[in-house]
Amino acid sequence: MRTVEISLPDNVELEDKDVIKFLAAKLYESGKLSLGQAADLAGLSKFSFTEILADYDVSIFNYPASDIRKDAAKI
C-alpha cells in the first residue's frame, strides 16, 4: 500500500479519519476500490462501512445502469 500526503486548507474542519472515510467512499463509488478494500481503507468492517456510505451520498449498490439494463434484457 502506498502513502499519500494531502494538504487541506485550515478552514476545512475535518478530522483525519473523516477525510479517509470520505476518500474511501468516493473511491468505492467510482469503482476504484471494492467494498472490502474501501472498508479496509476507512478502518471499518464492511458492515460499518456500508452504514456510513449514505453520509457521503454514495449508494451501496455500485452497479452501472447500463449493466442493469443488460441484465434485465436477459430475463
Amino acid 28: pLDDT: 93
15-74 pLDDT, tens digit per residue, is: 999 999 999 999 999 989 999 999 999 999 999 999 999 998 898 886 666 666 777 777
The model carries a pTM of 0.77
Residue with cell 494538504: 7
Q: Which three cell numbers stand for residue 9?
A: 486548507
Nearest to 27 by CA among 14, 37, 17: 37
Q: How many CB atoms lie within 10 A of CB 40?
A: 16
